[in-house]
Amino acid sequence: MKTVGVIGAGKAKEELLRIAEEVGRLLAKEGFLVITGGLGGVMEAASKGAYLQGGLTIGILPTLRKEDANPYVKIPITTGMGEMRNALIVRASDVLIAIGGEYGTLSEIAFALKIGKKVIGIKTWNINGVIEAKNAQEAIDILLKET
């Protein structure tokens, strides 16, 4: 089963949350396992979309408490590593989809590109190597073509 990391800010605008939920739903519909950082914002929205579609969701948490995971994470993995867990999200993912995002997302994009993983971006950092998608469906279309 291919794993897709969905990365983005823990607090995001409504438009990005709608996109993230749609990405999660479409990923689950295509049979992908969805990995996020397990908290709120884009992570929760993507997990929700996948969960409601019947998909498998994993949250790699920065804390040592499984209870910190959003309610749509089926498998919470605690790390106690804070933001350093971003590298684990990247390593555990076959491909990443970045939606919006702040500096934590930027670090995940950088880790992914450094080790040669594909990153598809929707309204995210404009960085050489990130494959731009205009919306959720285009991101999934690119993902299916690239994998």
Token pair 């996109």 is at which residue?
19
Q: What is the mean pLDDT of residues 7-19?
A: 96
> What are the boundaries of each domain within the chain?
3-146
Q: Vertex 117, ends 25 and 6: CA angle to 5°? A: 25
- In which band, very low, low, confident or very high, does the pLDDT at 113 lie, cut at 50, 70 and 90? very high
Q: What is the mean pLDDT of residues 121-127?
A: 96
- In which band, very low, low, confident or very high, does the pLDDT at 146 lie, cut at 50, 70 and 90? confident
**Beta-strand pair 3-8/33-36:** parallel
**pLDDT exceeds cutoff 80 at 147:** no
pTM assigned to the model: 0.97
**pLDDT exceeds cutoff 80 at 126:** yes
Q: For position 1, what pLDDT does the model report?
A: 78
- Return d(Cα 21, Cα 112) in angstroms, integer: 22
Q: What is the mean pLDDT of residues 38-42?
A: 97
**pLDDT exceeds cutoff 90 at 111:** yes
DSSP string, 71-101: TT-SEEEE---GGGGHHHHHHH-SEEEEES-
The arrangement of secondary structure in 3-146, i.e. its CATH architecture, is 3-Layer(aba) Sandwich (3.40)
- In which band, very low, low, confident or very high, does the pLDDT at 134 lie, cut at 50, 70 and 90? very high
Q: For position 26, what pLDDT does the model report?
A: 98
83-109 as b/e, with b when 16 or more CB fall inside 10 Å?
eebbbbbbeebbbbbbbbbeebbbbbb
**pLDDT exceeds cutoff 90 at 130:** yes
- Return d(Cα 147, Cα 140) in angstroms, integer: 10
Q: What is the mean pLDDT of residues 32-42?
A: 98
Question: Which two tokens mark 107?
Answer: 């670090």
pLDDT tens digit sequence for 41-92: 999 999 999 999 999 999 999 999 999 999 999 999 999 999 999 999 999 9
